[in-house]
Structure 1
Amino acid sequence: MTNPIAPPPGKSVEIPITVRFGDTDPYGVVYFASYFRYCHQGIEEFFRHLGLAPQEIFRNTEEGFGLPIVEASCSFHKPVRYGESLRLAVYIMQARSKVLTFGFYFYPSEGDALIAHGEATLVAIDRSWQSRSLPDELRQVLQPYVPPLQHS
């Protein structure tokens, strides 16, 4: 059986995820909300991989800049249980002047059978919570990970 979801386009950052007891429901299967926590962890590690401090990206009080998540989704293909290990591939689906959309692919630690996939959209805001352009410094660092034709 082939996967209906294409592999991550372009460059991605992979991080390991270990399923903890608190990540699971009463049946021992990863609870859906845990995937969103994994996705956020993936974004943090993506920024760290690029040499950026996540705490200065999500909320930078000195520059009056923030990057909250405004939309997120996830589709689940296979159950995952307590104690299992996953690989999370994090990539940029889209980068626009004020918006970043990250994609997430969850795989078992060994193999390429897709377990889940999702996305999260972040919008740049200023001190008054109004949208603003992404800082030029951030755009430059992200550039090698932005898919072709998405450099607006």
Structure 2
Amino acid sequence: MQPVLSESAEVVVRFNEADPLGIVWHGNYIRYFEDGREAFGARYRLRYLDIFDQGFTVPVVNVECNYKKPLRYGDTVVVETRYVNTEAAKIRFEYTLYNKSTGEVVCTGSSVQVFVDQAASLLQLTIPPFFAEWKKEWGVV
């Protein structure tokens, strides 16, 4: 059985992320996904710069976001990010966002990123060797 690789990050909802009623604008939830990916990358040595150092970028090609409850200015959101293994040359994450003070799920979602060379001209159709090694190191092969 493969291990579940996950990381949590906390983000305090900033004033500029809310509308005049104090409710977080829906597009900011995608930014919270990004915060989760950054925290995951820092923990598991899969940061964007780590990937860039191997000659690749990983643009997001798909995002799904399912809103459950609103966040408000001043809330703290806990972003749980889980790596989902796939045999394809892509990185898939799933997210669960919680309101820290209530414990309620406010959002779930997922994202897919693909490997592209640094000139953004060639899509990588096979898993890059460094990523195969990363998967082996963390036991998700």
Calculate the TM-score normalised by the size of structure 1: 0.77
Task: Give the structure 1 partner of residue 6 of structure 2.
Answer: 12
Distance 1:145 1:92 in 2: 12
Residue among 34, 38, 43 paired with 2:28: 34
Is the 1:12–1:145 Cα contact (8 Å) retained in structure 2? no
Task: Give the structure 1 partner of residue 57 of structure 2.
Answer: 66
The answer to whether the aligner puts 1:56 opposite 2:77 as a matched pair is no
Is the 1:106–1:114 Cα contact (8 Å) retained in structure 2? yes
Consecutive unaligned residues in structure 1, runs of 5 or more: 1-8
- Count of aligned pairs between the two proteins: 136
What letter corresponds to residue 12 of structure 2 in structure 1? T
Aligned-residue RMSD, C-alpha: 2.2
**How many percent of aligned residue pairs carry the same amino acid?**
26
Distance 1:10 1:41 in 2: 19
Shift of 1:100: 1.4
The answer to whether the aligner puts 1:129 opposite 2:108 as a matched pair is no
The answer to whether the aligner puts 1:21 opposite 2:12 as a matched pair is no
Shift of 1:134: 3.2
Residue among 55, 74, 79 paired with 1:83: 74
Is the 2:67–2:108 Cα contact (8 Å) retained in structure 1? yes
Shift of 1:41: 1.6
Task: Give the structure 1 partner of residue 107 of structure 2.
Answer: 116
Is the 2:65–2:110 Cα contact (8 Å) retained in structure 1? yes
The answer to whether the aligner puts 1:100 opposite 2:100 as a matched pair is no
Shift of 1:97: 3.0
Is the 2:48–2:57 Cα contact (8 Å) retained in structure 1? no
Calculate the TM-score normalised by the size of structure 2: 0.83
Shift of 1:71: 0.6
Distance 2:130 2:83 in 1: 16
